[in-house]
Chain A
Amino acid sequence: MTTFEEKILNEIKDKKITPTGKNVFLLREASIWVFLSLILFLVGIAMSIVIFLLFDIDWESFGDSDLYAHEKILHSIPYLWVGLVILFSILTYKLLLYTKTGYKKITNKLIIKTFLLLILTAIVLHLSSVAENLEGNASRIPYYRSLVFTKRDIWNAPEKGLLAGKITEITDNKSLTLKDSNKATWYIILSSITNSGNIEFKPGMKIKIIGRIIATSTFEAIEIRNW
């Protein structure tokens, strides 16, 4: 045995160095995989919200603007959520490299399969309205609405003559009651409607209204559109 080997063995003895227990490594590995799965789930959530927001674009809100079609699209992309999808995806990749065997599994095939699975998950979450509810809950976060602007925000401006919500009751053919996105109840006057697009009103139906406030919680409709 050489001096070097003796030196190391003496250091191991003197400092009472012992091999770290197998359970510690197993726990570490399991923790990384749990965290990785959670982040992957967040990728799916973020993707579903992106899909929801893209389908939620209110092209009518652009009105007679001079924007070209591609500019309208660029204006409408939910950059915050797209950024979160990218960020969480990178985090997933980096975490996978930290696992014992993860780096061997990262192939183009795996990336494509995972991406398709995430898209499928995102579509399911969107169709089941989970994405919409989550996005709605996100609006409680301070400054969120200054970064993400939705159709709901555009039509939640009664002071500007734009109101949207769910019909709760049809009083008669001249009025109905509606609950907006803030759960506030509005009494809608229909006598001044110039264009209702032959919509058949039903309780539970979502509509958007152009009109004006005429009294507290009372809105006179000039035009009604399907949500």
Chain B
Amino acid sequence: MKIFSFIYVSNYKLIYNSPVEAAQKKEQEKELVQKTLENPENFASIMHIYKAPLERYISRLAYISKDEIDHVLQDSFIKIYQNLNDFDTSLSLSSWIYRITHNQTIDYLRKQKNKPSLFRERELEFSETIPDIFTTEIDVDKKILSTHVTEILNALPSQYRSILILRFMEDKSYLEIEDILQKPPGTVSTLISRAKKAFKEETERYKLETKIQ
């Protein structure tokens, strides 16, 4: 049996509660990356932490099959490994990893432009993962949202879709979203406002077109 060395990271949190905790977390992340650079087997620790969240994020951002999600996820982790020396310690490891995954997913979608999306097939699965904050923040009919959210999201420009998913489904802070999408300070709040407005308008248009009550 192969024995792989792991870095045990306990109680890993994505949101910091205090500056001390934030500093400790940054040190841990730096150490984790350093250990991986010294020994590739330690990359398993990073994958262990991020596989599930990234898989969920890719499935929300791109309406593709499970096999394709795995394919994008694999490519993302390979890219993350290749770019470890480029990890900017001023960012959180999470934001940096999400950024690479986001870009890989968008690139994949661009190449698959002409393929039909699978949002209808994955509608129920997707709608079950929508947190309540999505409906309260955007203030749309929950009935519509639960059954047609993927169609509505899919109709939005990818920039709006990404930001709504990151903010209301992945629960990322404004600072994290700035780092993931490499947006200047202040633009994230503007984009979120526009995305919410676009989502509401798209919902209304959808209701009219499909005559949903």
Q: B-contacting residues of A (Cβ < 8 Å)?
A: 1-2, 4-5, 7-9, 11-13, 17-22, 24-25, 97, 100-101, 103-108
Contacts and interface: CB of A to CB of B under 8 A. Distances in A.
A105 B41 CA distance: 36
A19 B78 contact: no
Interface in B16-66: 37, 40-41, 43-44, 47-48, 51
B47 A25 contact: no
A101 B47 contact: no
Contacts of A103: 178, 182-184
A5 B85 contact: no
Chain A at the B interface: mostly helix, strand, loop or mixed? helix
Nearest to A100: B88
Nearest to A18: B82
A149 B82 CA distance: 54
B157 interface: no
Contacts of A100: 86, 88
B41 A8 contact: no
B206 interface: no
A213 to B, nearest CB: 60
Most chain B CB atoms below 10 A, which of A4, A11, A21: A4
B43 A9 contact: yes
Contacts of B185: 104, 106-107
Nearest to A106: B184
Contact of B88 (A20, A101, A108): A101
A5 B48 contact: yes
Nearest to A29: B86
B83 interface: yes
Contact of A104 (B37, B41, B43, B184): B184
Contacts of B86: 20, 22, 25, 100
A107 B44 contact: no
A108 to B, nearest CB: 8
Contact of A8 (B4, B37, B43): B43
B90 A101 contact: yes
A108 B40 CA distance: 43
Contacts of A2: 48, 51
A12 B47 contact: no
Given A103-B182, A103-B183, A106-B184, A7 B74 contact: yes
Given A4-B51, A5-B48, A107 B85 contact: no
Given A4-B51, A7-B74, A19 B186 contact: no
Contacts of B51: 2, 4-5
Contacts of A7: 74
Nearest to B41: A9
Interface in B66-119: 70, 73-74, 77-78, 81-86, 88, 90
B29 to A, nearest CB: 16
Nearest to B88: A100
Contact of B44 (A9, A13, A22): A9
B133 to A, nearest CB: 26
